Amino acid sequence: MTKLATQLDFWNARSKGFEKVNSPLVPDEKDIAFHKQYLKKGGKTLILGVTPSFCEIAKEIAASITAVDFSGGMINKLKQDGVTYICMDWQEYFDQTDELFDNILTDAGMACIAYPKGWKDMAISLNNHLKPNGIFSSRFFLSTQVSPKEHYDNPDTNRIVPGMANLDSNWMRKPQLDSYRDYDVPWAFPTEEVVLENFDNLLLIGKHVPDYEEGERFISFAWQKDN
């Protein structure tokens, strides 16, 4: 039996061609503008992942920037001056730090976290590491067709991305890792309703649905810590 690759294998492999990736797999200008409008100026910004455009907008407004990613390949490929990089799993990082942040950003990073427990743990950690009135802003890869229970309980669908197969590019594939079925951690693509329910410990303050084709699968939300 072929051993399943890990999420870390995936991102280390994809780092080698990441400069070729275009929207919608990375944010477009309107996506970036949405996040930027909500960010608090000054203070500390945490980026979960190393999305280059998010690092750029953080450098415009933040006194300090920390980017956390478990893929050394992605960090080495995309690192920028003015950003402190930490190679670590996000939840492990949160468990080990007492730092509070004015802004926390991620681009589609929740897709890499197992649903539902990992999502619930992340919602708690985000709340615990935001300053009062701090901002969590993120783009999500969503499913509009399959409920979370069906998506994860059915072994025939738990690594399938409904309706998104046509979005796979050459960057998303290589012969030995040619589908989402090849990974040992399910990719989490729940519905919009599930996303909002999961983060109901934060106050929703903004939503952006892209106007490009399949835009309803790439929705961005901004939340604020309500205290």
Question: For position 192, which CATH number holds?
Answer: 3.40.50.150
Report the range of poorest mean pLDDT among 29-38, 81-90, 191-200.
191-200
Does 98 have pLDDT greater than 50? yes
Distance CA(224)–CA(204), nearest Å, equals: 6
In a domain, 87, yes or no: yes
Q: What is the pTM of this model?
A: 0.83
Domain of residue 124 covers: 7-12+29-224
User: What mean pLDDT is predicted for residues 189-203?
Assistant: 90
- Is residue 149's pLDDT more than 80? no
Lowest mean pLDDT among 5-9, 63-67, 167-171, 199-203: 167-171
What tokens appear for 65 in the block? 């920037």
What's the pLDDT at 184? Answer: 56
The CA distances from residue 216 to 80, 115, 174, 207, 219, in Å, are 31, 20, 27, 11, 6
Helices (H), the chain: 7-14, 29-38, 52-61, 72-78, 90-96, 117-129, 148-153, 192-198
Q: Is residue 19 part of a domain?
A: no
Could you tell me the two tokens for 76? 């080495």
- Number of folded domains that form the chain: 1
pLDDT confidence tier of residue 201, bands split at 50, 70 and 90: very high
Question: Above 60 in pLDDT, residue 153?
Answer: no
Q: How far apart are CA 48 and CA 212, in angstroms?
A: 25
Compare 163 and 135 and report the one with higher pLDDT: 135
The CB-side HSE value for 149 (13 A sphere, CA atoms) comes to 0
Instruction: Give me the amino acid identity at 222.
Output: A
Q: What is the pLDDT of residue 174?
A: 38
> What confidence tens digit (pLDDT) does each residue in 168-177 have?
333 333 333 3
Higher pLDDT, 72 or 145: 72
Give the C-alpha distances (Å, rounded to integers) separating 183 from 3, 4, 114, 144, 169: 9, 5, 12, 22, 18
Mean pLDDT of 100-112: 93
pLDDT at 9 over 70: yes
What is the mean pLDDT of the segment spanning 201-220? 90
Residue 116 CA to residue 181 CA, distance in Å, equals 19
Task: Calculate ∠ Cα 152-5-179, nearest 5°.
Answer: 60
22 belongs to a structural domain: no
Contact present, 18 and 73 (Cβ < 8 Å): no
Asked whether residue 91 is domain-assigned, the answer is yes
Is pLDDT above 50 for 180?
no
Phi first, then psi, for residue 65 (nearest 5°) are: -130, 130
State percent of the chain over pLDDT 70: 78
Average model confidence (pLDDT) across the chain: 81
In a domain, 215, yes or no: yes
pLDDT band at 74 (very low <50, low <70, confident <90, very high): very high
pLDDT on residue 59: 95
